[in-house]
Amino acid sequence: MHFTGREWWALIHGMILGAAFLLAFGGGLAGLWSLKANLVTREGVLERMRRLKVGVVTMAVAAWLTVITGTWVVYPWYREDIPKSPKSRLLADSATKDWHEFGMEWKEHIAWISPILATVVAFIVLYYGTNLIRHDRVRKTALTLFVLAFAFAAVAGALGAFITKVEPVR
């Protein structure tokens, strides 16, 4: 059982950081959803706010690391100007060229919107704190942006998984 250096980086980008992102999203979503006055005591608020802050900050950090490693480490190997690069191989066959011309072209751009929105949510939670409990509109705004950040990352992640299945970076 052996992975090349490039395959390790592809794993770090897609699976390790992706897993951290997913876990943080799940925790942050549950935290934002249940931050209601009738559901928590003062002790519960302190405990939940701490966990929520960790969750949203972790998701933002994971999102940034994912797009940075993807763009600056894995993507150059993907698009190398040699016949054996994944991009060259995908474009050489009319049956697979859309994986690059649509799949990768969308993935490499839309992914970057996710960390921007995740950072906005982290700011809202860190700045507004317990006010999210009594100002339901702001809480729902944060929730909406949080889900949107996840959705954009999900599109990029799914396309990345499919492209890797067809033509992986080796």
Partner 1 sequence: MSSTTGTRAGAIEYPDRPEGPISAAIIAGGVGALALGILTTLAEASTGVADWLQWSDRVGPLSGETIMAVIVWLVAWTVLHFVYGRSPIETRTALIIAFVLIALGVLGTFPTFFQAFAPE
Q: Which residues bind partner 1 (CB under 8 A)?
A: 37, 40-42, 45, 67, 71-72, 75-76, 79, 101-102, 105-106, 108-110, 112-113, 116-117, 119-120, 123-124, 127-131, 133-135, 137-138, 141, 144-145, 148, 152
**Nearer to partner 1 by C-beta: 2 or 167?**
167
Tokens of 72: 């600056």
What is the nearest approach in angstroms of partner 1 to the Cβ of residue 31?
16
Name the minimum Å distance from CB 58 to partner 1.
18
Residue 84 to residues 27, 54, 92, 155, Cα–Cα distance (Å): 41, 42, 10, 26
Using CA atoms, how far apart are residues 115 and 118, in angstroms rounded to an integer? 5
> Would you say 15 or 39 has its CB closer to partner 1?
39
Gap between the Cα atoms of 38 and 46, Å rounded:
15
Closest to 110 in 3D by CA, of 56, 66, 143, 166 = 66
Report the residue number, 24 or 159, with the smaller CB distance to partner 1: 159
